């Protein structure tokens, strides 16, 4: 596998030759638009809606929307001025606790490896020291003319380099309706016990190889079959009956795991449904 970056891991005066490799590969299917009548790929044209004509690349400039109906033209020279020179140093600026970084800050994942036999000892030294102290390293590096913040953490006998979002990239959950404040919501104790039992019965080890991208696999099977001249019929999935009552939904979910529903919870649920039905009869 080809390294995406080569340089040095720096911590104080310690310098270790390292290489950075992609840890994740994209697994998506790309489609093109074809003319239905003849099957030819359609060309995309840039048309100016004001002038009503196709414009060439030489006539295009970059613009940034700055308020309603206002665009600021930014030149190539100005964009170049904002870029930083790519460096060969991945410099550690701080160590933080292993659980100090919230999951939503993590982005792309890379493997960080020592570059050559000479670098292995120092690399292994920092790996073990970080693992035994429960620390994660925050490091900065300039890649593709942009400064990146990364978290280096021990993983499976090596180091993962995870790109970190900057604080200004994270949306404030308080701006999203319905998020936050869940600790203050009152929940039924009987329902809580059933939910805990359901969670326990569905608990296990994280085994990622058990899960697959069924959407992409199905599409590839359809494409392969059509390429071989076969007709493919995709049967619609049968929808499960919807359960409106929360207690009944918990009860059925718990039974589906092969577990017995605690009698106390069944009695409480039944009692509640009886009261509801009695109220309904009185109103009738």
Statement: residue 233 has pLDDT above 90:
no
pLDDT digits (tens, 9 = 90+) for 182-209: 788 898 888 888 888 888 888 888 888 8
Q: What is the pLDDT of residue 160?
A: 95
- Give me the helices (H) in the chain, please: 76-82, 117-133, 189-201, 214-227, 246-256, 263-283
User: Is 92:11 a contact under the CB 8 Å cutoff?
Assistant: yes
List, in order, residues 6 or more apart from 54 with CB less than 8 Å away. 45, 46, 47
- Global pTM? 0.69
Segments making up each domain of the chain, as ranges: 5-23+83-167, 186-201+241-284
Statement: residue 215 has pLDDT above 60:
yes
For the record, the structure tokens of 152 come out as 């280096």
Whole-number average pLDDT of the chain = 84
Q: What is the pLDDT of residue 190?
A: 87
* Domain 5-23+83-167 annotated CATH 1.10.3720.10: no
Percent of the chain at pLDDT above 90?
39
pLDDT digits (tens, 9 = 90+) for 256-271: 887 777 665 554 544 4
Statement: residue 244 has pLDDT above 80:
no
Q: What is the pLDDT of residue 280?
A: 46
- What DSSP line would sit under 151-209, residue for residue? EEEEETTEEEEEEE--GGGSPPGGGSTT-S-GGGS---HHHHHHHHHHHHHT-----GG
């Amino acid at each position: 596998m080809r390294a995406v970056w080569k340089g040095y891991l720096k911590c104080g005066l310690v310098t270790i030759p390292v290489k950075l490799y992609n840890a994740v590969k994209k697994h998506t299917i790309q489609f093109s638009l074809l003319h239905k009548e003849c099957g030819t790929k359609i060309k995309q044209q840039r048309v100016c809606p004001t002038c009503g004509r196709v414009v060439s690349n030489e006539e295009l400039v970059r613009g940034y929307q700055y308020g309603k109906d206002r665009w600021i033209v930014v030149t190539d020279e100005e964009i170049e001025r904002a870029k930083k020179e790519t460096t060969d140093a991945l410099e550690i600026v701080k160590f933080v606790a292993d659980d100090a970084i919230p999951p939503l800050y993590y982005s792309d994942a890379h493997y960080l490896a020592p570059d050559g036999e000479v670098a292995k000892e120092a690399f292994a030294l920092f790996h073990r020291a970080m693992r035994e102290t429960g620390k994660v390293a925050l490091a900065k590096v300039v890649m593709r003319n942009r400064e990146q913040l990364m978290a280096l953490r021990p993983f499976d006998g090596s180091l993962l380099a995870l790109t970190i979002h900057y604080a200004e990239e994270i949306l404030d959950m308080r701006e999203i309706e319905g998020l936050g404040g869940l600790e203050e919501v009152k929940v039924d104790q009987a329902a809580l016990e059933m939910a805990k039992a359901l969670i326990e019965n569905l608990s296990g080890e994280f085994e990622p190889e058990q899960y697959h991208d069924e959407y992409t696999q199905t599409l590839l099977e359809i494409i392969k079959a059509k390429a071989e001249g076969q007709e493919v019929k995709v049967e619609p999935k049968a929808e499960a009956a919807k359960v409106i009552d929360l207690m009944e939904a918990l009860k059925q979910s718990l039974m589906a795991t092969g577990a017995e529903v605690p009698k106390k919870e069944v009695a409480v649920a039944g009692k509640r449904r009886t009261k509801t039905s009695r109220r309904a009869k009185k109103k009738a």
